[in-house]
Amino acid sequence: MLGPVRSRLIETLAGRSDEVPAWVLRLEQGEDEGFFTPQSAAWAVHGGMPTLVAGVRALLLQALHPGALAGVRDHSRFREDPLGRLANTIQWIHTVTFGSRDQAIASSEMVRSLHRRVVGAYVDGHGVERPYAANDPDLARWVHLAFTDAFLTAHEGWGAPIPGGADGYVAEWAIAGELMGVDDPPRSAAELRAAIDAVTDAGDLRGGPEVDEVVRFIRRAPLRRMLRPSYRIVFRAAVSTLEPRHRLLLGLPPTAPERILPLHAATGAVLRGAGVLLGPRTQAELAARRRLERLGALPHPTSSLNEETP
């Protein structure tokens, strides 16, 4: 039974389960250690199972910005090919985290070049119609804030201690924000919290029918039947970590106090199970370690890519 479940999980995260993606293999190439090292907060956070919760939370929070939501609604194929979109996002995250500097820069530039076509109009949180472009600094900043907050919060809830703590992770991942055109991204947990509060307090976020549609889609993601029970727990876990005012905009009720601890425990069990299926290191991390070994930056050999996760 574990074999089919493992295959379906890898297929969900990587787009296919029958071979290691070419972009992962390319992470073995490059002539520098990259922006982050094996001792970094970014490796710890992005290589852990809490990313399964973080990804859902990030999507929910990003959807509250009407400009970001309009870009996804009008230009992405999230309804027709949601897993393909997920795989593309994972590719960027892992390339920036585990790749060489040239690879991280090139991957970010490729995403930004695709975003140049993402333009249109939306009604902001104050009822005013505004033009948007995915590379607009304000939109890029909100996506970065939502991403950083989601991955930090999920890891603090279900992950191991972060090297350098929360401030270390926010400061490191500011590099990714800059690669995506974000001006002066937050570099501490307090700055991150203040930046999210500023956008929320300004009334720039809103709910409504379009947000409700996205929430329904995320809640009932088109996954293989065998993965759905675990995903329901992951979704509830992501929702439980959201601020009350963000949950209100998303139309999601608060988690009853008596259910918080059981939900936290059930989520931990799901993530531990995923870790057993996928292994302790992602394929991207293994590829990066092989590059570092070649460069003389790691003392011990790394096992075959075929033994680990996407």
**Alpha carbon distances (Å) from 145 to 39, 61, 68, 233:** 23, 9, 12, 24
Question: In the numeric block, which tokens belong to residue 231?
Answer: 């995903």
* pLDDT score of 79: 61
* Residue spans of the chain under pLDDT 50: 1-2, 303-308
* pLDDT score of 221: 87
pLDDT digits (tens, 9 = 90+) for 248-279: 999 999 888 899 999 999 999 999 999 998 88
Q: Are 302 and 38 in contact (CB under 8 A)?
A: no
For 246, phi then psi, to 5°, come to -75, -40
Question: In the numeric block, which tokens belong to residue 244?
Answer: 């009350």
For the beta carbon of residue 201, count every other beta carbon within 10 angstroms: 10
The alpha-carbon radius of gyration of the chain (Å, integer) is: 19
Residues 6+ apart with CB under 8 A from 153: 54, 57, 241
Q: Give the closest residue to 102 by CA, choosing from 33, 2, 160.
A: 33
Reduced to 3 states (helix: H, G, I; strand: E, B; else coil), residue 262 is helix
* pLDDT score of 303: 47
Q: Give the closest residue to 289 by CA, choosing from 13, 19, 36.
A: 36
Question: In the numeric block, which tokens belong to residue 39?
Answer: 């001792």
CA angle, 182 then 235 then 133, to 5°? 25
* pLDDT score of 268: 97
Distance, CA of 266 to CA of 35 (rounded, Å): 35
pLDDT digits (tens, 9 = 90+) for 90-130: 999 999 999 999 999 999 999 999 878 777 887 877 888 88
* pLDDT score of 132: 75
Task: Give residue limits of the domains in the chain.
Answer: 2-307
Q: Are 9 and 227 in contact (CB under 8 A)?
A: yes
Q: Which amino acid is at 233?
A: I
* pLDDT score of 274: 92
**Alpha carbon distances (Å) from 169 to 70, 100, 285:** 29, 19, 17
